[in-house]
């Protein structure tokens, strides 16, 4: 019983730290895997992909300065950590018909890091 309680306590303590992600690691991942199509920051503008400022709580396919696929516009998704994680891990599975040509990132830690970095751009 004590071992089970200890394991439960430790997992509850570690899970939020994992979920928070590492902003610096997320920045490095963004630069290497995302920045060729997406931008963030004060001068961000949509280009080959939409700019990603304020992505959390934004409705998918809603920026006026980017031409999204019909699938993205009609997805009904409002971005949050859960929907972002699913899309980053497997874009084509999350939004079949998306224009985003990216295999995805299967490592949950890296996905959490990337999301933590994106959260810094409100």
Residue range 42-60, pLDDT digits in tens: 999 999 999 999 999 899 9
Per the prediction, the chain carries an average pLDDT of 88
pLDDT digits (tens, 9 = 90+) for 68-105: 999 999 999 999 999 999 999 999 999 999 999 999 99
Phi (first) and psi of residue 87, to 5 degrees: -70, -45
Domains and CATH numbers, the chain: 2-118 (1.10.760.10)
Contacts of 84 (CB under 8 A, 6+ apart): 55, 56, 115, 118
Contacts of 13 (CB under 8 A, 6+ apart): none
pLDDT digits (tens, 9 = 90+) for 18-41: 458 999 999 999 999 999 999 999
Longest dimension (CA), the chain: 57
């Amino acid at each position: 019983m004590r071992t089970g309680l200890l394991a439960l306590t430790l997992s509850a303590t570690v899970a939020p730290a994992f979920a928070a992600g590492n902003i610096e690691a997320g920045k490095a991942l963004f630069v290497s895997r995302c920045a060729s199509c997406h931008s963030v920051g004060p001068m961000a503008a949509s280009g080959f992909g939409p700019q990603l400022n304020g992505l959390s709580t934004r409705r998918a396919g809603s920026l006026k300065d980017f031409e999204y696929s019909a699938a993205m516009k009609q997805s009904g998704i409002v971005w949050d950590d859960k929907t972002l994680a699913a899309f980053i891990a497997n874009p084509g599975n999350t939004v079949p018909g998306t224009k985003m040509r990216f295999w995805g990132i299967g490592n949950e830690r890296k996905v959490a890091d990337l999301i933590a970095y994106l959260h810094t751009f409100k």
